[in-house]
Amino acid sequence: MELFWYIVLMTMLTVYVILDGYDFGAGIIHLFFAKTEKDKKAITNAIGPFWDANEVWLIAAGGVLFFAFPTLYASSFSGFYLPLIMILWLLIFRAIGLELRGQIHNKLWETIWDKAFGLASLFLALFFGIALGNVVRGVNLGVVTNGVSAHEPHYFFLPLWNPTFSPHAEHLGIIDWFTILLGIIGVVALTIHGANWIIYKTNSNLNSKLKSIIFKLNFVLLGLVIISLLVWHIIEPKPFHNFLKNPWLFIFPIITFTGLFGLFKIKTFTKDGLGFLFSSLFLFGGITSTVASIFPKLLPSTNSVNPDLTIYNMAADQYGLSVGVYWFVVAIVLVVIYFTIQYKVFKGKMDDVGYGDH
């Protein structure tokens, strides 16, 4: 049952990144490339009917984490308290930026909320990439100092950064050069993803420019991915041991690079949805490859005193996990029905939606 709920949790997080990821990317495009009111409206129209529903996947993933792996939930929400609070505020400002902008037709008012929406989207993409970096790198479980654990084995607390800015420090911070690298990858990947969604859902004048931006950013993304694979050896001595032990797992890196290399043909696509398909493949493959590389770890320990947090030592009681399956089936059926109706109602181009107009 632990494996089942682990797959459910990772699936929800992956769906969240793909769906809300295009919202983040659209916000970044809005911040840097939307120069006219028409361009700004095209972007908000593209994501307007979807963004709040997409966020539900994050809440659902949090619920599954609380239910299936409660000790990990408690450990993570206390250890990552500072960045989680920052993410909460960024989610709030992104939402009110979208909702309040059209309330008053004043240039200063609109500019303030445009910046709130764009900057919140940018920092959310950065922080979620940094979060992935923290999971890959691990944390100092038990707050071990000089070989002595100061707390229980699953406890940790991280400041935003440490003075050394090193992922090998005894007392780590949220931000170091490795987690920043993954954060930048997150920003670039989601910018591409958001641009593809805008192309897919609008006939904006921005679309031809966005294809050129995607093509250029894809070179940056490829370089960053190669660098991250090379430095991964510095963080984890045997980063590919699961792939060598289970060769079928190589399907996930293949999906990642299929999406990445497919995006180099963005200028030749005749169907607007193909770019979004390839960027979705990249995100899906990248997340699943990362998860496969550290399995069964949920959060690695950076010391040798306390063990890693895994799906087996963090799971709830077997009875609870089994009973929860029945309720999960009901919930997933309702979610599928809801999203099917939503995407049917809002299929096609969204130029005339008029989201946020008052």
H or E stretch covering 226: helix 207-235
> Looking at residue 358, what is its pLDDT?
53
H or E stretch covering 47: helix 37-47
Helix axes 56-68, 2-32, angle to 10 degrees: 150
Residue 173 · residue 162 · CB < 8 Å: yes
Residue 48 · residue 349 · CB < 8 Å: no
> Looking at residue 147, what is its pLDDT?
80
> Looking at residue 317, what is its pLDDT?
85
Residue ranges of the chain whose pLDDT lies below 50: none
- Show the tokens assigned to 105: 């037709």
How far apart, in whole angstroms, are the C-alpha atoms of residue 131 and residue 125? 10
- Global pTM reads 0.92
- Show the tokens assigned to 309: 């947090």
Can you tell me which residue has the tokens 């095209």? 42
Using CB atoms within 10 Å of the CB of residue 247, give its burial: 0 to 12 exposed, 13 to 18 middle, 19+ buried: exposed
> What is the β-pairing status of strands 297-299 and 309-310?
antiparallel
